[in-house]
Amino acid sequence: MKHFFKFFYLSVLISTFANCSKEYEIPQELVVHDFVWKGLNAYYLNQNEITDLDDKRFNSDQQLETYLSAFTDYNSLYASLLISSDVKSAFVEDYNTIINPEFRTRFTHGLEFGLFKEQDSDTIIGYALDILPLSNASTKNISRGDYFYAVVNIDNDTIDLTKDNYKNLLLNYTQDTLKLVMIDYVENIDGYNVTLNNEKIELIKKDYAYKPVNSQSTILDNGNNIGYLSYNNDFSINYIKDLNNTFLEFKNQNITELILDLRYNIGGGSFAKNISEISSMITGQFTDEILIKEKWNAKAQPWFTANQPDSLVTKFPESLNTTTNINSLNLTDVHIILNGNSFTGSSAVELLINSLKPHINVHIIGNQTAGNNTGSISLYNSVDYDFNLKNSSHTVALQPIVLSFLNKDDQTYENGFSPNISLCANEDALDLGVLGETSDPILNRILDYISTGNTSTSETCNPYNFEYLFNSINTQREIDNGVFIHQDLPNTI
């Protein structure tokens, strides 16, 4: 963090005690404890709600030391200083694990699939959700919407899928090859019946690097030139340039609206800066206007307002770096199919929605979102909580929530967002269609909405009362630890 902060002394952000002396030295066994308490006392968003984090809780360093000594370990201290509803703040034992997200790779055959069980039956059916581009599965005769019911094991026995065995047969098998027994799942007057089609598909696991963009296309519908983008990876810096290149293609195709399909997006890897860059790709007509505002706790906010007011706002950027301009579409409408289990969104997507809402029309397709409106920062045990001057006697770091995000109109979203178009909790396994084409029921509903404004549907969710057991994409979704920010913090000496 910047050297000039050494000239600032921020009394409200550090613990000051009436009887402390400059010669006081923290006992070595309490160094981490002291770091935990002082870091949370200074920056934890809910500091004012925790009695033991109150500035007047202790009158001296010695009183604080006595309090800290009562905790046998610093983990329990940290947990005790958070509000009960806080599931975002993280304690990091080894800051060496805080690394930039790696490019997404996996040892896989490339088939994303789901499983359901029929009502009043033990029959379990597998169905193909997606075939990863350039994977082994993409070279085989299997497509989205195909069905299977059994696996041929290494002894060449055909084993039907059951609730008890599907994990071992489809997920935990030791060999690299998976042989699926395919079926036709055919509707008749009694419902749907399994019909063998004598086809077996052999899939082989291989090292696989995920494409930056899963798929993209341009759809001409009722005079509208609509861009469709299916994006499945995280929102880290790893894929921002690739997204920017994709938006250049859309720009050259003169699209007038964008459908951002995040239904299979794994979330994670998110910084507010990355979300601001994606926002500028979608828009572009709001140069130098405020996109995101930050609201810190009652101690930190006044200091930043007085000393670093520009750091409390993020404006629409024009470039990714000094050599790469952002390819902007200047759109007024974007349609976002939410990610997450049951289409409920992630922290990064919620920030994107809230930030864009005062500027353009943001149409949400999915279900009620959670309302994860907080941001976090990584704190290290140093005079300015930065990595460079950290205490080398331990490897602990803190990642507490420190702020709430607002848009330019001071609107936040702790209650989440309601969708313009509601979706069923699961895609209809009997009517999946082709991603990016009008046969996809979700995409078709959005196109109808764009043309007519119609948000209603005659669709019945899960009409056959299937029990949806498994979705291979859900198991890959990253833990949503919220959105992070970079911030220069004041020096405490």
| pLDDT per residue as tens digits for the range 65-91 | 999 999 999 999 999 999 999 999 999
What pLDDT was estimated at residue 413?
98
What pLDDT was estimated at residue 189?
62
* Rounded Cα–Cα distance for residues 326 and 142 (Å): 38
- Range list of β-strands (E), 343-391: 361-366, 374-376, 379-380
Nearest 5°: phi and psi at 68? -65, -35
Out of 13-17, 143-147, 450-454, which region has the weakest mean confidence (pLDDT)?
13-17
Element (H, E) at 272: helix 272-282
Length of the chain: 493
Q: Return the DSSP state at 145.
A: T
Q: What is the mean pLDDT of residues 12-30?
A: 62
Element (H, E) at 14: none
Which position has the token pair 């880290």? 236
What pLDDT was estimated at residue 406?
98
Confidence of residue 23 (pLDDT cuts 50, 70, 90): low
Q: What is the mean pLDDT of residues 178-197?
A: 84
Q: Among residues of the chain, what percentage have pLDDT more than 90?
A: 85
Domains of the chain: 3-97 (no CATH), 105-209 (2.30.42.10), 215-376+402-458 (3.90.226.10)
User: Chain-wide mean pLDDT for the chain?
Assistant: 92
Q: What is the mean pLDDT of residues 30-52?
A: 97
Q: What is the mean pLDDT of residues 442-462?
A: 92
* Rounded Cα–Cα distance for residues 472 and 179 (Å): 17
Give the strands of the sheet with 224-230, arranged side by side: 215-221, 224-230, 257-261, 333-337, 361-366, 421-422
- For 195-251, how does the pLDDT look when each residue is reduced to its tens digit (9 = 90+)? 889 899 999 999 999 999 999 999 999 888 999 999 999 999 999 999 999 999 999
Q: 43, exposed or middle or buried, with CB in 10 Å at 0-12, 13-18, 19+? A: buried
Instruction: Specify the amino acid at residue 211.
Output: K
Confidence of residue 268 (pLDDT cuts 50, 70, 90): confident
Element (H, E) at 463: none
- For 365-374, how does the pLDDT look when each residue is reduced to its tens digit (9 = 90+)? 999 999 999 9
